[in-house]
């Protein structure tokens, strides 16, 4: 990938020649770095700073060091939530190992997210056919390779909380999360599945966890660092 502005400009020119039927480019919420490599699109002079930022937790080799840095109050809350959750028979956390089960968890995430958005009176579009197809393809193409990770809190066959993440090496981006709410709220299943997933993936070599956009209180309590994103809008034709 291009690593300087000149090479990035050449890449953009090649892209424009290839996109003959496109009138306008609108690329949003792009990271400045891709691991240790610059994002070539972020090197272009007409990119601009995005209004949103990613929220990233970076940690070292010992996951307990991260937990300790969160403070005693947060640690005790995680431990309390786990005790409350596991008081239910057959309550457990798991990294899903079967693709069919990963799809079942994804479908539950989508349903729970819709119910939550309707409850708070917000529009929900992630289950539109084109969006749903994208996430299903992501699982189909990336689950076996480990690029897509699906985790869940379960009580028997009930999916109490679900999390869908994308992983590349040490970097993990958490892209879809939901929980059943209701009586399960007493164990804070959303935060609990985040903490349990981070611990499990840290044991598998992950060291950076991106909570994505949204300046929510639970993210701050989990020690995130705001990292800027960039956007790019450009005409590709006279019509554009």
State residue 72's pLDDT score: 93
> What is the percent of the chain where pLDDT is above 70?
100
The closest alpha carbon to 221, from 67, 86, 81, belongs to: 67
State residue 216's pLDDT score: 84
With a cut of 90, say whether residue 136 has pLDDT above it. Answer: yes
With a cut of 90, say whether residue 19 has pLDDT above it. Answer: no
Distance from CA of residue 182 to its chain's centroid?
24
pTM above 0.85, yes or no: yes
The closest alpha carbon to 224, from 237, 239, 238, 212, belongs to: 212
Query: What average pLDDT does range 59-81 have in this prediction?
Result: 94
> pLDDT category, 195, cuts 50, 70, 90?
very high
With a cut of 90, say whether residue 217 has pLDDT above it. Answer: no
**Using the 8-state DSSP alphabet, how is residue 140 labeled?**
H
Residue with tokens 């005409």: 235
State residue 1's pLDDT score: 86
Query: What average pLDDT does range 201-226 have in this prediction?
Result: 92
With a cut of 90, say whether residue 147 has pLDDT above it. Answer: yes
> What is the per-residue pLDDT across 169-193, written as a single tens digit (0 to 9) for each?
999 999 999 999 999 999 999 999 9
With a cut of 90, say whether residue 208 has pLDDT above it. Answer: yes
With a cut of 90, say whether residue 34 has pLDDT above it. Answer: no
With a cut of 90, say whether residue 148 has pLDDT above it. Answer: yes
Which residues have a Cβ under 8 Å from the Cβ of 42 and sit 6 or more positions away? 30, 31, 32, 33, 230
With a cut of 90, say whether residue 79 has pLDDT above it. Answer: yes
State residue 150's pLDDT score: 98
Lowest mean pLDDT among 56-65, 116-125, 130-139: 116-125
CA pair distance 183, 64, nearest whole angstrom: 30
> pLDDT category, 36, cuts 50, 70, 90?
confident
State residue 214's pLDDT score: 86
With a cut of 90, say whether residue 130 has pLDDT above it. Answer: yes
With a cut of 90, say whether residue 218 has pLDDT above it. Answer: no
With a cut of 90, say whether residue 133 has pLDDT above it. Answer: yes
Inter-axis angle of helices 189-203 and 72-86, nearest 10? 100
The closest alpha carbon to 28, from 3, 5, 47, belongs to: 47
């Amino acid at each position: 990938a291009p690593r300087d502005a000149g090479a990035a400009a050449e890449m953009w020119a090649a892209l424009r020649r290839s996109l003959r039927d496109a009138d306008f480019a609108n690329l949003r919420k792009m990271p400045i770095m891709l691991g240790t490599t610059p994002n070539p699109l972020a090197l272009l002079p007409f990119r601009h700073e995005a209004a949103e930022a990613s929220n990233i937790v970076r940690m070292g080799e010992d996951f307990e060091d991260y937990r300790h840095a969160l403070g005693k109050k947060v640690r005790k809350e995680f431990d309390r939530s786990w005790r409350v959750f596991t008081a239910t028979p057959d309550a457990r956390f798991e990294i899903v190992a079967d693709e069919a089960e990963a799809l079942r968890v994804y479908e539950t995430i989508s349903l729970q997210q819709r119910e939550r958005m309707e409850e708070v009176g917000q529009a929900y579009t992630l289950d539109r056919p084109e969006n749903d197809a994208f996430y299903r393809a992501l699982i189909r193409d990336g689950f076996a390779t480990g690029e897509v990770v699906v985790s869940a809190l379960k009580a028997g066959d009930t999916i109490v909380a679900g999390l869908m993440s994308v992983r590349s090496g040490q970097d993990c981006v958490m892209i879809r999360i939901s929980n059943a709410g209701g009586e399960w709220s007493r164990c804070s299943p959303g935060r609990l599945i985040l903490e349990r997933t981070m611990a499990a993936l840290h044991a598998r070599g992950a060291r950076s966890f991106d909570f994505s956009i949204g300046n929510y209180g639970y993210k701050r309590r989990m020690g995130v660092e705001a990292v800027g994103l960039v956007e790019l809008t450009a005409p590709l034709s006279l019509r554009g």
